[in-house]
Chains A and B, each alone.
Chain A
């Protein structure tokens, strides 16, 4: 035994450091997945993310080609470059998945999200909310004497910014659709 110089005892390295030769910078990617519109396909995609411990920042899905039975799922996710590669490869393994596109890599892409926000308040706050909504090109889609519902479309950070401004003005509820995205140009 000893002649073989087999090291014993502890090691300074963590056994959990599973990916030492991969970068650990977190990146945000928008991935478009074209899937057959069949029952359970969304569960497969979501199950993949939860089962393998990937992040979902937002996810939208709707049928985009009625005759071809195709739906488009847009997923915004974060992870190291290696995890992002894995996510795409794993998505590609799902049988009803036809295409996987990393819009962040293939881009530039246009990203849009729709949000509706209920702002409750009166007096100056109400006036200020309306003024800001105008600046952000948000529409009033419902109003009562004590509340507004604004509709706003834009990139997610624009919606974040608008929501942040509405918070002190009486933001009561917000509903967001998640990101829809398309590559620019032809």
Chain B
């Protein structure tokens, strides 16, 4: 905690990594500031050093890289969801990101990296990235590492934002005939999500062939329901299956959040509702694709 923090604006990732490495504590990486600044403004967070990563060219841009869609950590939400490549290859991400709150002002400045590193259970980007089994590239000191986002999220010592820098996210394109949907339940226009579900699946011959589904905003951690929903494989969508999905997903939430968004019992139930609704829409999309 310091009244007079220091500031660094490294020009290369290497420089940035070195600055971070040289500091012991009180250092924060800042990108768009949309996450950090509310805390700074209220005195909850008083960093000793800000490391501004906005000059790092390696963290910018969206491109195809070795068959994967690479989204730089500094890409702001609006540039992500209005990008033609993302629209074509990752339509689920577009659907979810358009529902991010805060208005255009936030869409114009909040970055992909900041959203991921915030790891906020109510946010909308990570559920999709987990559904799509995204990889992330992280630099720490001299080391550049590529891991799955899932692994990174599970590691309490990932050090992102103080010791490590997220360079980019890499996502395999969704199958052209994939069914997908992002379902976000919120209490009002300005509220954060109370229950979210991201789903990507494929349908062959009218039955579900593969399925990934991640639930957010109902518990401290996001819940990957894909395995628990394995019973759906080989099934066609029906009211009976929908209620089984709903029941199964609600059952996965053992410690629901209970906050201004709504109480725990409701959140648990809503996990089921959004999962079931997302899946219903995704199957309908996939079936329509198949019919074409």
B is a partner of A:
no
**Which residues of B are in contact with A by a Cβ distance under 8 Å?**
none
